[in-house]
Amino acid sequence: MARFEIPSTPPTVNKTIRLPSDVVEEVEQAIQGKNCTFSAFVIAAVRTALEDIHEGEVPGENRHL
């Protein structure tokens, strides 16, 4: 049997951003009825976008976000 370990919450930073109303509405519709918060959805989307950017990088190329 696996031993239970209490998970740690990663450190966070509070950022205020403005999103277009239609984007907020679409995210809220997408997470409705799911066990997902707005913040968790946005974090997952940003991480996916960053992974996509990093996958497209050429070694030695200086790329800015």
Residue 50 lies inside a defined structural domain of this protein:
yes
- The pLDDT score that the predictor gives to residue 25 is 98
- The pLDDT score that the predictor gives to residue 57 is 82
- Check if the beta carbon of residue 27 is closer than 8 Å to that of residue 42: yes
Question: What DSSP letter does each residue of 16-45 carry, written as one string?
Answer: -----HHHHHHHHHHHTTSS--HHHHHHHH
Residue 60 lies inside a defined structural domain of this protein:
no
Residue 51 lies inside a defined structural domain of this protein:
yes
Residue 43 lies inside a defined structural domain of this protein:
yes
- The pLDDT score that the predictor gives to residue 60 is 66
User: Which domain does 45 fall in, by range?
Assistant: 21-55
Residue 12 lies inside a defined structural domain of this protein:
no
pLDDT tens-place values along the chain, 65 residues long? 889 988 888 899 999 999 999 999 999 999 999 999 999 999 999 999 999 999 998 776 665 65
- Taking alpha carbons only, the member of 40, 14, 41, 15 closest to residue 26 is 41
Number of structural domains, the chain?
1
